Amino acid sequence: MPESDPRTPDQQQKSIAAEGPDPAGPASLQADGQLLEPAHSAPSKPSRSPLFLWLKEVATVVVIAVVLSFLIKTFLFRAFYIPSESMVNTLDVNDRIFVNLLVPEPFALSRGDVVVFKDTKGWLAPTPEKAEGPFTWVQNSLTFVGLLPDNSEQHLVKRVIGLPGDHVICCDADGKLTINGSPLSETYINAAEVPEIRNFDVIVPAGKIWVMGDNRNHSADSRSHLESNGGFIDLADIEGKAAVIAWPLNRLTALDNYPDVFRNVPVSAG
């Protein structure tokens, strides 16, 4: 007959806990001291391969870059490609520029600013549709999100000469452009050629601007479209102010609006 255990139930429970789990396998101990069936550990998840983790990291970076680029392109800056010589020497053919989309709103436009605007007045000659290549959709997508400059022919780039209410005349006895009676010494004009005199006398209406190219003899600007809406551009058509030449790198520079040229221009009657 087996001997009875002289220990109290509480002492027996403490003894079981001190002795540790049964060598046959892990077990759970309920509050009343009774042992349950051995617990089976959950199967471990298979580890991810280094290639999978690398691809995941690259995909995350790409998604973040696309989202940030789209937000910047939509609200702050947008890239454009320069296809013509109308702004030489300020802008050369094939330059890539960044345009500040916060001008003319909420920040005001100034005389001398270089602006990019939509061609809603038909200044550009109609161009045939380009053939769709196998990767055209890729280029269009990257342009849409802002990772590539806009090289479409739906925009123009010129310098703002007259603001709403300004009286712009070409030219005075010295061959200079005048704004509100003040002659301008236009230091931004392409010095390689003497500008041809093309007479005009305009008052810029409200909500519009008068624009001209720095390469005066090779720019079809407001002077060339007097018969079409007076040669004026709607403020609503302005995409923004050209701020920086970003490419090629040897031309990396901020664009100037030459405030000294317009410093003595009096306030317009408008």
Enumerate the active-site residues: 86, 158
Question: What would the DSSP string read from start to end of 63-103?
Answer: HHHHHHHHHHHHHTEEEEE--SSTTTTTS-TT-EEEEETTT
133 burial level (CB within 10 Å; 0-12, 13-18, 19+):
exposed
Q: Which residues contact 231 (CB under 8 A, 6 or more apart)?
A: 200, 202, 210, 221, 222, 223, 224, 225
> How many Å separate Cα 81 from the centre of its chain?
13
Q: Nearest-CA neighbor of 78 among 101, 104, 54, 106?
A: 101
C-alpha span between 230 and 233 (Å, rounded) = 9
- Residue that the structure tokens 């053919």 belong to: 93
Radius of gyration of the chain (CA): 36
